[in-house]
Chains A and B, each alone.
Chain A
């Protein structure tokens, strides 16, 4: 029972709890907070795997920016509690066990086929500078494309969320 394993299980448990809580909560703000917990736990997992850069980005971008955006929108729209209707009960009754079943199946398949290779702590090589080199040499095109993508997203978000312009019809006098 190495420390690695214990830490892995610890972070994993937090992530799972957060995920399940996301499903179980009725108010969106509670779901958002659970999601933040999940992301934090995943950042921990990344660290265990030796991906420091990714872990940092996870916390800064995902938990720090995206989730904040979510919370802003929830507050802005004053989203309320979800009601239970007949349809949703049916969905939960069928959907959850179905999903469980499916995932168990996949899980079994994965475990069965992987054969127990182990990943040591901090397996990923090199400091973040190697990532930088990859980013600007091998993956230059996707990098530039994503920057354009972000630009477009900004423009789209601004246009979509702006208040509708009231177009004054010129009346003929």
Chain B
């Protein structure tokens, strides 16, 4: 028997790792992967709660999250390719033409 809080803890730690990666990494693709990590953490907490309250809707929600994640990573990677073509770099600090 595993307390609910353990699942939530794990989910939170995964999310925190994702945020950290998002902030400290400079490679665009790595940043993207951190976003995926965040989404995974959130999925875990959804399912944990769904189990806790015996509702299936939590799982359905996870389903949708995954769909959206898929779509988003497809588009995002396409953008990265386009940016790479334009700027020849994957370093996010150098993609700064929007600077004021």
Using a CB–CB cutoff of 8 Å, the interface residues on chain A facing chain B are 2, 4-5, 8, 12, 15-16, 19-20, 22-23, 28, 31-32, 35, 38-39, 42, 45-46, 48-51, 53-54, 57-58, 61-62, 65-66, 69-70, 73-74, 76-77, 79-80, 82, 85, 87-88, 91-92, 95-96, 99-100, 102-103, 106-107, 110-111, 114, 116-120, 123-126, 130-131, 134-135, 138-139, 142, 146, 149-150, 152-154, 156-161, 164
> Could you tell me if A154 and B52 are in contact, using CB atoms closer than 8 angstroms?
no
**Residue on B nearest A124 in the bound complex, by CB:** B51
> Could you tell me if A146 and B9 are in contact, using CB atoms closer than 8 angstroms?
no
In the complex, number of A-B residue pairs with CB atoms less than 8 Å apart: 239
Residues of B within 8 A of A107 (CB): 9, 12-13
CB distance from B1 to the nearest CB of A (A): 4
Using a CB–CB cutoff of 8 Å, the interface residues on chain B facing chain A are 1-10, 12-21, 23-27, 29-30, 32-34, 36-37, 40, 43-44, 47-48, 50-52, 54, 56-57, 59-60, 62-64, 66-75, 77-82, 84-85, 90, 93
> Could you tell me if B27 and A119 are in contact, using CB atoms closer than 8 angstroms?
no
> Could you tell me if A8 and B6 are in contact, using CB atoms closer than 8 angstroms?
yes
- A156 and B47 alpha carbons, distance in the complex (Å): 31
> Could you tell me if A146 and B36 are in contact, using CB atoms closer than 8 angstroms?
no
> Could you tell me if A106 and B37 are in contact, using CB atoms closer than 8 angstroms?
no
**Residue on A nearest B54 in the bound complex, by CB:** A125
Residues of A within 8 A of B26 (CB): 82, 85, 88
> Could you tell me if A73 and B81 are in contact, using CB atoms closer than 8 angstroms?
yes
Q: Give me the 9 closest cross-chain CB pairs, A-B, nearest first.
A: A153-B71, A103-B16, A160-B78, A123-B51, A161-B78, A19-B17, A157-B78, A118-B1, A114-B5
Residues of A within 8 A of B6 (CB): 8, 12
Residues of A within 8 A of B80 (CB): 73, 77
Residues of B within 8 A of A66 (CB): 36, 69-70, 73
- A42 and B36 alpha carbons, distance in the complex (Å): 13
Residues of A within 8 A of B73 (CB): 66, 69-70
**Residue on A nearest B86 in the bound complex, by CB:** A164
> Could you tell me if B33 and A92 are in contact, using CB atoms closer than 8 angstroms?
no
Residues A131 and B79 in contact in the complex (CB < 8 Å), given A22-B34, A49-B47, A61-B70: no
CB distance from B36 to the nearest CB of A (A): 6
Question: Can you spell out 19 A-B residue pairs with CB atoms less than 8 angstroms apart?
Answer: A22-B33, A28-B30, A35-B36, A35-B37, A38-B37, A42-B40, A45-B7, A49-B7, A61-B66, A62-B66, A69-B77, A77-B29, A82-B26, A99-B20, A107-B13, A114-B4, A124-B50, A130-B56, A153-B71
Residues of B within 8 A of A120 (CB): 1
